Structure 1
Amino acid sequence: MAQQPVNPTMNQKFDAPPPYFPEQVGMHQPPPPGFVQPTMTSTTTVITTEPILGPSHLVVTGYVLPQSHKSCNIQCPYCHADISTATSSETGMLTHLIAIILCVVVCWPCVCIPYCVDGCKDTSHHCPACKRHLGVIKRL
């Protein structure tokens, strides 16, 4: 039988590696003279949401915008001007839903009709003075 070579490192014990940072050696050092500990201040931000006031109103940034697809008279929450809102029609979920239903019912040539009819679209209200967005009245 042949003897197997003995690995001299197998029987050695190793010490722990040296610390990586000098702070790990011993206790923390006291702050230098003249050091002032910063005080912690906290601010609390409260976010509240206002419920929609029934089916006929939409709350927009604390202002009540009548849920109408027509222009309405309000005070703009941004520029504080008394305005009559500018409205525009935007494609919404109802528009896409009607188009899908027309396609499934094999009326695919009529699929573009909901995209041309304002009655199938959502209405967006804007301030004509500052051009800011005030709210959207969704059909679906």
Structure 2
Amino acid sequence: MFRGRRQRGRGRRPRLERKYGFFGCSSCKGHWESAQVYCVEGTKKVYFKQECKRCNMACNPYRVEDIECPRCGLPVADCKENGGCYDEDDVDEEEEEEDDDDYDERHVDAKKPHRADLCLKCRSGWKCT
């Protein structure tokens, strides 16, 4: 009926925005955090899972937050809008955390490389970095 027209929402990925996520594997009980969580823009709906490095189970984060500027603590969008101090090189990648005491605080290591082998976004051919 509508030949040549593309149906809305089919065949295209939604616009994504980068977030910070807290992960917990239901299989082996491992925990980690990542600044490479990609959500549908304007939501906290995760588009790509990450694999647990212990048991290779694909996991969604149990909590997702905006990425904060490490210098001023504001969400990155607010920092950039105000002509702030945010720099992409300051953002942390991923950190494995074994201590169960403090899962409300971020445990970050800016020097730790992104694990593309565990990232389903990277493995789909749509690289994070």
- The TM-score bracket by the shorter chain reads under 0.3
Structure with larger Rg: 1
Greater relative contact order (Cα < 8 A, sep 6+): 2
TM-score of the pair, normalised by structure 2: 0.24
Structure (1 or 2) with the greater helix fraction: 1
